[in-house]
A and B are shown apart, each in its own frame.
Chain A
């Protein structure tokens, strides 16, 4: 019963997680819009989503521990994406930076709207499940 509940919500949970990862990548691009030699990055959302649905989430690189008393450590700056790619610049600049601010902001806005759409759908699904659970 419970695993049915979680599998019903699983898809949108993964969607939200990937949207959030993409938000982070795009925020990184916008933050580095003036950094020399910075290359803008992004990933193919559809491809990553189908990979996550079939193979599970990408795990961060963890510190290997040989005793249960060892403190666990995880790699910082990790992106939960298998295939992070470089953007092909339309107008490369002289300092080697490939961030196109307009493009990044458009993608960012698009990504946030889709994030909110997923939230709305998820909310509706939870509402449906609640309604189904109501005693007559």
Chain B
């Protein structure tokens, strides 16, 4: 109803984008994790964004609806001396694509910046509105 809801919209987007950055960081960090708590290799994760508007005609912010695992097949590497190698000498490596992750990270940080700018200009407008009639 007011300029304050712009803060709400932008901050929801910033939260969502930083969560996307977190997921990307986790993927990058685990690009070579051959074994997780469940004994399986790490699988790349992706966030799913969803708009917060209730009806088609409304506007709203954004939220992370789910964090899904990438269904791409695991990368097989031939390392016969590896302790986790199978009978043929192959080790299942995570399906993380470093190039995808870099692109995702850049896109997330750009969107984050854009939302900060929106917030910043709204703040200036709000402050100027507060001084209406003075001077």
A interface vs B, CB < 8 Å?
Answer: 16, 20, 23-28, 30-36, 38, 41, 60, 76-80, 84, 101, 105, 108-109, 112, 115-116, 119, 122-123, 126-127
What is the total number of residues of chain B having a CB less than 8 Å from a CB of chain A?
A: 42
A-B contact pairs, 29 of them (CB 8 A): A20-B2, A23-B125, A24-B5, A26-B118, A27-B118, A28-B59, A30-B13, A30-B118, A31-B9, A31-B13, A31-B115, A32-B13, A33-B13, A33-B111, A34-B62, A35-B49, A35-B62, A60-B1, A78-B58, A79-B58, A80-B1, A84-B57, A84-B59, A108-B118, A116-B125, A119-B128, A119-B129, A123-B135, A126-B133
Q: Name the B residues within 8 Å of A126 (CB-CB).
A: 132-133
- For residue B30, CB closer than 8 A to chain A, the reply is no
Beta-carbon contact of A23 and B59 below 8 Å: no
Known: A20-B2, A24-B5, A31-B10. A105 touches B59 (CB 8 A): no
CB of B37, distance to nearest CB on chain A (Å)? 30
CB of A89, distance to nearest CB on chain B (Å)? 16
Known: A24-B6, A105-B117, A116-B125. A31 touches B132 (CB 8 A): no
Give bound CA distance, A26 to B49, whole Å: 18
Contact of A28 among B9, B117, B124 (CB under 8 A): B9
Which B7-53 residues have a C-beta within 8 angstroms of A?
Answer: 9-10, 12-13, 17, 20, 48-53
Give bound CA distance, A108 to B111, whole Å: 15
Give bound CA distance, A35 to B115, whole Å: 14
Q: Name the B residues within 8 Å of A101 (CB-CB).
A: 110-111, 114
- For residue B106, CB closer than 8 A to chain A, the reply is no
